[in-house]
Amino acid sequence: MELYFKDKFFNSGISDIMNHDGEVVGSMDLKSAFGSSLDVFGHQGQIVCTGKFRLLLNRWIISDGRDKQLGELRRRMSFLTKKYEYDAGNRGVYEITSPVFSKEYSIQSSNGETIASFARTSSWLQTGAFRLLNDSKKLDSYELVAVVMGVHEIQKRDNNNSG
């Protein structure tokens, strides 16, 4: 599935999730400009998953609509790549990588298979939009929207702490 979505400038408010044809297939509610969290809604308006930072840690927790944890995203130390790890429990551990100056990321399963990719893009939506391509049979596209936004939130938090 191919999805497009975007961050809000002040990091709060509702933002549409669209398919390749520009049809709205869901939405994200970016909760606050001061506390990073979000809700992801499906095409019928039902809450599909949430994302938020674990208290006092730089780990992004993704839960389903009933608040059951689906996975945990964290940054991994790396020299010449941007590297993250998404632990989806019994569904596997996934490595998210990007060359250091690139805006394109791949998501790989533990056996090295690329199951999804995403990029920060200047598309027909607007500058700062994300494009997600999901081929995974284990990770839902809406869950991966929360993962992508988690990577983005970790990067923003790291940038704010570094200067």
Tokens of 80: 């010449």
CB 115 within 8 A of CB 94: yes
Backbone angles phi, psi at 64, to 5 degrees: -80, -175
| Secondary structure class of 160 (helix, strand, coil) | helix
Give the global pTM: 0.91
Burial class (CB in 10 A: 0-12, 13-18, 19+), 98: buried
Q: What is the pLDDT along the chain (163 residues), one digit of tens a residue?
A: 999 998 765 567 899 999 999 999 999 998 866 568 999 999 999 999 999 998 777 899 999 999 999 999 999 988 889 999 999 999 999 999 999 889 999 999 999 999 999 998 865 545 568 999 999 999 999 999 999 999 988 988 777 766 5
CB 3 within 8 A of CB 132: yes
